[in-house]
Amino acid sequence: MVSGRGVDEGVFFLFWQGILDDQFTQLQMLQDESTPDFLEEVVTLFFDDSVKLLENLSESLKADPLDYKVVDGHVHQFKGSSSSIGAQRVMQVCITFRHCCDNKDKQGCLDHLAKAKEEFNIVRSKLGKMLKLEKKIVDLGGVLPFMDC
């Protein structure tokens, strides 16, 4: 079994598209025989957390009067978790989202919320599918092509 830094093929394509970045590689590296489900757990947690976060965000943006600090707080959280996972595009959206909060730009915030949801859905669907597939392969006794580099 080869351990060490490596990226498996399916996910690699997501790198090319800019959906995931290097941080995800880090996470993959942390998974080994002793923690075979690490990646799955983290990713699932991220998905669940983010869904809740996005709900909270929508709610906070509907409030009248709008409290930008609250919104900013949520976005900060989202940014944090997405950067830990390595969901690069989501994180980028969060960064610019925060600028809108700083400028107290309501329309901008709403647009960014939509974008954030979109990007998150992309990550969720693609990464989710990829991981499910890989799990299947492993369950059937196959080996995922990891390689040292």
Partner 1 sequence: MEACNCVEPQWPPDDLLMRYQYISDFFIALAYFSIPLELIYFVKKSSIFPYRWVLVQFGAFIVLCGATHLISLWTFSSHSRTVAVVLTTAKVLTAVVSCATALMLVHIIPDLLSVKTRELFLKKKAAELDREMGLIRTQEETGRHVRMLTHEIRSTLDRHTILNTTLIELGKTLSLEECTLWMPTADGQELELKNALRADPLHVTVSIHHPTIKQVFSSPRAVIISPNSPVCVTRIRLGKYMTGDVVAVRVPLLDQFTNFHFSDWPDRKTRPYALMVLMLPADSARRWHVHELELVEVVADQVAVALSHASILEESTRARDLLMEQNVALEHARQEAETAIRARNDFLAVMNHEMRTPMHAIIALSSLLQETELSPEQRSMVETVLKSSNLLATLINDVLDLSRLEDGSLELDIRQFNLPDVFKEVLNLVKPIASVKRLQVNLTMGPDVPDTAVGDDKRLLQTALNVVGNAVKFTKEGIVNVFVGLERPEYPRDPRQPDFRPTPGDQHFYVRVQVRDTGLGLNPQDIPMLFNKFVQADSTTTRNYGGTGLGLAICKRFVNLMDGHIWIESEGVGKGSIVTFVVKLNVPEPPSHHSIQIAPSSQSSGSGCRDFSGVRVLVTDDNGVNRMVTRGLLIRLGCEVTLASSGRECLQMLSQRSQAFTVLLLDVCMPDMDGYEVAIQINQRLGRRERPLLVALTANTDRQTHEKCLRLGMDGVITKPISLEKMRMVLTELLERGSISEVTQRL
Q: How far is the CB of 12 from partner 1 (least distance, A)?
A: 5
Q: Does 27 contact partner 1 by CB under 8 A?
A: yes
For the CB of residue 13, give the shortest distance to partner 1 in the complex, in Å.
8
Alpha-helix residue ranges (DSSP H) falling in 1-149:
9-16, 22-29, 38-62, 68-85, 88-102, 106-139
Say if CB 86 and CB 21 are below 8 A apart: yes
How many whole angstroms from its chain centre is CA 133? Answer: 18
Torsion on CA atoms 123, 129, 130, 132, rounded to nearest 10: 130
Asked if 134 is part of the footprint of partner 1 (rule: CB under 8 A), the reply reads: no
Q: How many residues bind partner 1 (CB under 8 A)?
A: 44
Measure the CA dihedral 77/27/87/14, to 10°.
-170
What letter does residue 73 receive in the DSSP assignment?
A: H
- Which x/- pattern over 71-110 shows residues binding partner 1 (rule: CB under 8 A)? --x--xx-xxx-xxxx-x---x------------------
Q: Say whether residue 128 binds partner 1 (CB under 8 A).
A: no
Residues that bind partner 1 (CB under 8 A): 3-9, 12, 15-16, 18, 21-23, 25-27, 29-30, 32, 35, 38, 41-42, 45-46, 49, 73, 76-77, 79-81, 83-86, 88, 92, 145-149
